[in-house]
Amino acid sequence: MNVNWINEMRLDFAALPENEAFARLAVSGFLLPLDPTMEALADVKTAVSEAVTNAIVHAYPKGGGQVRVHGRYDGEGLVRIDVTDTGRGIEDVAQARQPFYTTGGEERSGMGFTVMESFMDAVEVKSAVGRGTTVRLTKRLRTRDEALPRRA
């Protein structure tokens, strides 16, 4: 797919739990010029939150590391956000995408990818053991203008 992106942002931050909220808010601020519906904005924020949390918890189980959020959008409401880490990678991506599968111990639900998939139009995962993971989140935003009923 050849897309003409009209805006983009990159945000690099330490893989710390407190930075998950920071990433979610930064993406929200980035998307506001598109005038998305509150529901659409909440969907993207939730998916980004899950992807960033996965990177923090699973990519760097002993701490440390960096996470990158790279967002872009075109002039027609198409949004793509990549969440990338350089951590331990995922051995079996298909297994990791199954509901309730987790490597994070009993306190993790194993629903991260399922949540992302329920809020986004597409979720792609590329990973290499020992090199890291990129989760690509794609959604066509419905803007407020499109959500409002048309008047005669």
136 forms beta bridges with: 82, 124
The CA distance from 67 to 56, in Å, is 8
61 located within any domain:
yes
Please report, for the domain that includes residue 142, its CATH number. Answer: 3.30.565.10
51 located within any domain:
yes
17 located within any domain:
yes
Of the residues 72, 108, 140, 142, which is catalytic?
108
pLDDT tens digits for range 79-119: 999 999 999 998 766 777 665 556 555 554 556 788 899 99
83 located within any domain:
yes
Compare 91 and 46 and report the one with higher pLDDT: 46
Of the residues 19, 50, 80, 88, which is catalytic?
50
Q: Is the pLDDT of residue 152 over 90?
A: no
4 is catalytic: no
Domain count, the chain: 1
3 located within any domain:
no
Of the residues 20, 24, 54, 80, which is catalytic?
54
140 is catalytic: no
152 located within any domain:
no
Taking the model in full, what pTM does it have?
Answer: 0.86
54 is catalytic: yes
The CA distance from 39 to 146, in Å, is 13
129 located within any domain:
yes
Average the pLDDT over 10-29 and give the result: 96
For the chain, give the longest Cα–Cα distance. Answer: 60
Q: How far is CA 19 from CA 33, 53, 77, in A?
A: 23, 9, 26
Residue 137 structural domain: 8-146
